[in-house]
């Protein structure tokens, strides 16, 4: 597709600029190009790396919401190839896979208790059929891709963990990544009404990835839901719309005192990150006391 060719040329230009200005290798950082649909190309790019952070960001400018049905299937195929490449690359032993909270929240016929909200955590998976019926292509793509990654890694000599962040926000981040935000917010009215619309600052997402990676040699395993704020009131929804530069995508006609049937739970990542901060503090205490 033309937009893919443009993106490829754009990235190549960035690489040439880095080489021209001597930025390659600065602070131990190197940039390489790889064909994500070609396992050999990926293996060449991964060679020498101890771990891979797979943070895919597939966007289709031709799609109404920035993400179309074909992109969902493409993202799943790429996930399989990335994991296969990790397995084949001798130096790689770990992979941190960036999924999405959307891969957890869209469930068919979820039980509803008027007195005790149903907990939504890392054990929950979005229903692919429901995503297709509602045309939630971004949620479908993230769900299919993460499942594909877990299938590809099963029984292989590779440790895989997945981070499932909520809608990523932060200073200047939202406006610069509005296409991804719009794709995420398809179905936002329903998520807001059900108590499942959450956000997370981009800095916390980065910290969570580092924290999970550092703990992979010990206790880190499985999936980690990552968010720091649940949008619960109409004024919070309006403020988020203002930050994103969009209107009437979240609250709509939802009453401010509506009951929520579900409760998000990020206890797993919170415990891991709290433990890391505690260890860091203890080290500094030893050094400075």
Cα(164)–Cα(58) distance, integer angstroms? 16
142, 186, 204, 268: the catalytic one is 142
- Our answer to whether residue 186 is catalytic in this structure is no
Residue 230 confidence (pLDDT) above 50: yes
Contacts of 219 (CB under 8 A, 6+ apart): 272
Model confidence pLDDT, tens digit, residues 237-267: 999 998 888 887 887 665 555 667 899 999 9
Confidence (pLDDT) at 24: 59
Beta strands at 94-98 and 51-54: parallel, antiparallel or unpaired: parallel
Beta strands at 159-165 and 222-226: parallel, antiparallel or unpaired: parallel
User: Would you place residue 288 in the very low, low, confident or very high pLDDT band (cuts 50, 70, 90)?
Assistant: very low
DSSP count for the chain of H helices, then E strands: 12, 9
Residues 185 and 250: beta-carbon distance below 8 Å = yes
- The structural architecture, per CATH, of the domain 34-281 is 3-Layer(aba) Sandwich (3.40)
Confidence (pLDDT) at 254: 57
Rounded to the nearest 10 degrees, how much is the dihedral formed by the CA atoms of 11, 164, 147, 97?
50
Confidence (pLDDT) at 246: 81
């Amino acid at each position: 597709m033309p937009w893919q060719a443009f993106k490829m040329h754009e990235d190549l230009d960035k690489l040439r600029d880095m080489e021209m200005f001597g930025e390659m290798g600065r602070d131990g950082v190197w940039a390489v190009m790889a064909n994500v649909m070609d396992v050999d190309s990926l293996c060449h790019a991964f060679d020498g790396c101890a771990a891979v952070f797979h943070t895919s960001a597939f966007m289709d400018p031709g799609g109404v919401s920035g993400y179309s049905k074909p992109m969902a299937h493409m993202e799943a195929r790429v996930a399989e190839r990335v994991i296969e490449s990790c397995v084949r690359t001798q130096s790689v032993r770990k992979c941190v896979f960036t999924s999405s909270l959307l891969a957890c929240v869209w469930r068919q016929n979820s039980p509803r208790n008027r007195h005790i909200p149903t907990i939504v955590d890392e054990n929950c998976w979005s229903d692919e059929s429901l995503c297709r019926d509602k045309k939630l292509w971004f949620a479908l793509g993230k769900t299919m891709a993460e499942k594909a990654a877990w299938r590809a890694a099963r029984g292989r000599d590779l440790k895989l963990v997945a981070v499932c962040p909520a809608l990523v926000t932060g200073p200047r981040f939202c406006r610069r990544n509005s296409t991804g935000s719009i794709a995420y917010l398809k179905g936002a009215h329903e998520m807001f009404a059900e108590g499942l619309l959450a956000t997370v600052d981009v800095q916390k997402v980065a910290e969570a990835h580092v924290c999970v990676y550092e703990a992979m040699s010990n206790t880190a395993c499985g999936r980690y839901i990552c968010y720091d704020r649940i949008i619960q009131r109409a004024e919070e929804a309006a403020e988020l719309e203002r930050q994103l530069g969009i209107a009437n995508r979240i609250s709509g006609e939802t009453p401010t005192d509506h009951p929520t049937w579900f409760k998000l739970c990020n206890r797993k990542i919170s415990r891991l990150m709290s433990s890391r901060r505690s260890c860091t503090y203890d080290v500094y205490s030893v050094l400075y006391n």
